[in-house]
Chains A and B, each alone.
Chain A
Amino acid sequence: MVGYYNTLREKVQNDRGTALVLFGLAILLLDLIFKLITGETRSQIVATYLWDGLVIGLAIGLAGVGLSLTYSILKFANFAHGDMITAGGFSGWVAVFAVMGVGRFDMKNLLLVGAGNPINVTELGISVSTTPIAILFGLVVAIIGTVLLTLLIDRFVFRPMRHHNDGIALLIASIGVSLALRYGLAFIFKTQNRGLTAASLTASYSVPVGTGSVQIDLGEITLVLVAVVLMVCVHMFLQYSTLGKAMRAMADNRDLALITGIPTEKVVRATWIIGGALTGAAGFLITLERGTISFQFGWILLLLIFAAVIIGGIGSVYGAIAGGIVIGFTSTVSLIWIPADLANVAVFSVMVLVLLYKPEGLFKGVTTA
């Protein structure tokens, strides 16, 4: 017991930042328990915040795995990642709309997700509950579309710059890609926000909590399930397949990987393919859960995704997920103490603090695992 106490004390002394964070969290937790006991905050609200936070967190985490992979293996912060998410979302919904509306609506309009003339989504009747096959089809198209797009971008933008080995030049190029991609989507799909699914058709369950209940709908459940399955798959791939091991080797030490005979260009392509697939899936699932899409939803998410990836530690798949969940919880549970319009301020403050005091992330030492 004394030995345990001593190691704990040593740890705290070595890592004051973490100790301070834990101390702060403990105070907040005590305050929350106090609020629950006095009835100032109802358990139903806390449960809703936790569920919403989990959904947002997994969505951000799933979108973050792709970013984390490219960040650790290609060594640059890809600012175009958010717009690749948007592109994934749009490519998936073009497919779903075309399949569901063929014969009933104008095809030109369906292919643009209603850019010219808004489509009545209730009449179109897309939902996870009633048309799961179409949704699955959309997911597959979103994945394929985003993979092709990332490979195209890599071919023309990032590959010619590979020899520079300059993270900032690549970052600036990715800002250029981000602008071109986002406003290219705006040029094709117009700038208005629009509905996608028929909300009334989506099955919704209420789970009793305390005196009230939490609403959970099938869109959210789909997102959580697919996100977890995809993340486990990525983990298995990185841990056990030869290509996955090569990717981790390259993330650890690029030069060493090169002289060991790892085909780096092939590994880079695999990184883009896997990253792109996850990004496309994330874009489609996030829009499915929200039921709306706009040309800059991915860009708005990007900073949150960066926050998640950094909090979790760049290069770590589980770190990205954990970071995503931290971000998700921060953005919802913080509402107990602060007004809703400051939720993003809280999230970005957490990110800046982590960058300043623990830039290696909360899961340091774990690279691409």
Chain B
Amino acid sequence: MKFDIEMLLKSDARIVASTFVGISLLFIIVAMILGLDFNGTVNTIQRIMFLSAVYAMVVLALNLQWGYAGMFNIGVAGFMLSGVYTMAIITGDPNGIIPGLGLPIPIGIIGGVLVASLLGLLISIPTLKLKADYLAIVTIGFAEIIRYAANALTFKTFSIAGVEMGTGAGRGIHLPMNPIRNLYYTDPSNLGLGKTVFGQYVFGFFEIIQVQSSVVVSWTYAIVLIFVVGLFYLIIYRIGNSPFGRVLKAIREDEIVANALGKNTDIYKMKVFAIGCGLMGLAGILWQGSYGYTNPTTFQPILTFYIFIALIIGGSGSNTGSIIGGVVFASLLFEGPNFIRRVIMHVFKFDKAPNSIIEAIIPISSFDLGPFVAYSLANISSLRVVFLGLVLVYIIQNRPEGLLGYRKELAASIDISRRPGAEVKRGKRHE
């Protein structure tokens, strides 16, 4: 059995690694077409890797709730927001425009994760008995309550027990400086003051191959995130393959049966909801933490839908699928259209895009597609979401198990839907 797991991890690691390499190669080709220099290419790959890692994290957390326990939570953005804002308030400068508590970053991160998971616990208790679609509406309603509250002027600054703090309302809130800079600079708030010894060596090396120091810093952060994705994977893999995880899968398949077998399914659901929401909060912190600033607009419901699309593409129920889904979504579906626009604009020279779609369509009658293409490229951000919606409909109609959903971990320790003889050939079927 142990041998099986090792084999599986190896093959899964291979799938993930080849996805990362494939995506990187693709974007290297794109960067070459665009005529970017080496620094620009390295930076492009960094951006793609960063976003892929962020999506992989959140998708893994969602997979724990939906893929394992079957809990349909569409308030992901709200839990991310609560984690990020708690962290911002805990670490904020007490004398700043929006005052905070001025505590160190690690305490901020722990606080953010705890608040997100406590909120998850709080929401899960009364919703345990609701139907799946009601749970969906409660969670999205809750996420919107949090977002409107973060946006409200009322809470721009407030005080609890005499301590001033605030959300900054619609203008958003500052997050602490990216701690990665401490590795390279003696004083992260003033880069001119000098570099650490480590910084001198690393920057010195990358200067030879003409990569700017800012790109090196971002890459370091992206690598940390990829490492955290691995951590998320391990945590969720361990949870999923423990006795606890078996009960979760049983709940997903048939809660009444799990109950009848003497498991208190409510407790399991509460725990898994709290853990998942905490991980979502952590992912939010690591994502927004790199920007040094966040605002409520970032956490609109569409963010939750993006994460769902990523999970459904990858295959709900499979952790490796979750990572692949996150990477494929972030790189190809989310960032891809922008690069397609840039490549087309670079290769073909278009006149200025027409002002309206009718002016773009009329020339088609005389076989001139140029204006329509130019209009589409100018409005590619709308077109991208149209495409995402169609992809979601297509997948749910034709391949609801996603790319790797066939690897969904079974609730039973053997696949009782198959005859024993046939099982040997499909050894990968259960993990």
Contact = CB atoms under 8 A, between A and B. Distances in A.
Interface of A: 76-77, 108-109, 111-112, 115-117, 157, 160-161, 167-169, 171-173, 175-184, 186-188, 190-191, 303, 306-307, 310, 339, 341-342, 344-345, 348-349, 351-352, 355-356, 359
A339 B358 CA distance: 44
Given A176-B393, A177-B393, A351-B141, A341 B308 contact: no
A124 B346 CA distance: 42
Shortest 4 CB-CB distances between A and B: which pairs? A180-B389, A116-B356, A179-B389, A176-B392
Contacts of A345: 145, 148-149, 152
Interface in B114-140: 126-127, 130-134, 136-138, 140
A161 B394 CA distance: 11
Contacts of B355: 116-117
Given A339-B154, A348-B144, A183 B385 contact: yes
14 contacts: A112-B357, A112-B358, A172-B392, A175-B305, A176-B391, A177-B389, A179-B386, A186-B382, A190-B356, A310-B137, A341-B152, A342-B149, A342-B152, A344-B148
Given A184-B386, A356-B138, 4 more contacts: A161-B397, A344-B148, A349-B145, A351-B141
B141 A352 contact: yes
A188 B357 contact: yes
A341 B155 CA distance: 10
Contacts of B130: 355-356, 359
A13 to B, nearest CB: 21
A108 B356 contact: yes
Given A176-B390, A341-B151, A303 B144 contact: yes
Given A172-B308, A172-B312, A115 B386 contact: no
B254 interface: no
Contacts of B382: 183-184, 186-187, 191
Given A116-B359, A179-B389, A180-B389, A172 B396 contact: yes
A348 B301 CA distance: 14
Contacts of B388: 176, 179-180
A359 B312 CA distance: 28
A181 B302 CA distance: 14
A168 B308 contact: no
B406 interface: no
B359 A352 contact: no
B7 interface: no
A108 B358 contact: yes
Q: Which of A157, A171, A175, A188 is packed against the most chain B CB atoms within 10 Å?
A: A175
Nearest to A295: B382
A179 B127 contact: no
A343 B390 CA distance: 34
Contacts of A341: 148, 151-154
A190 B392 CA distance: 23
Interface string B60-72: 0000000000001
B152 A307 contact: no
B358 A359 contact: no
A344 B141 CA distance: 10
A178 B355 CA distance: 25
A20 B341 CA distance: 57
Interface in B136-174: 136-138, 140-142, 144-145, 148-149, 151-154
Contacts of B400: 169
A77 B385 contact: no
A310 B135 CA distance: 12
B107 interface: no
Contacts of A168: 72, 132-133, 136
Contacts of B154: 339, 341-342
A181 B388 CA distance: 11
Chain A CB within 10 Å, residue with most, of B134, B356, B383, B390 = B356
Interface in B51-80: 72
A351 B152 CA distance: 19
Nearest to A357: B126
B386 A359 contact: no
B379 interface: yes
Contacts of A303: 140-141, 144
A344 to B, nearest CB: 5
Contacts of A157: 393, 397
Given A172-B308, A187-B379, A342-B149, A348 B141 contact: yes
A356 B126 contact: yes
A191 to B, nearest CB: 7
Contacts of B305: 175, 179
Nearest to A157: B393
B76 to A, nearest CB: 13
Contacts of A177: 389, 393
A342 B383 CA distance: 33
Interface in B353-369: 355-359
A175 B392 contact: yes
Nearest to B129: A359
A160 B359 CA distance: 36
A167 B231 CA distance: 34
A181 B382 CA distance: 10
A367 to B, nearest CB: 16
Contacts of A355: 127, 130, 134, 137-138, 141
A217 B154 CA distance: 31
Contact of B136 (A160, A171, A348): A171
Contacts of A349: 145
Interface string B302-319: 100100100010000000
Interface in B323-361: 355-359
A307 B134 CA distance: 11
A157 B386 CA distance: 14
A102 to B, nearest CB: 15
B157 to A, nearest CB: 14
Given A77-B136, A187-B382, A306-B137, A173 B148 contact: no
Contacts of A161: 396-397
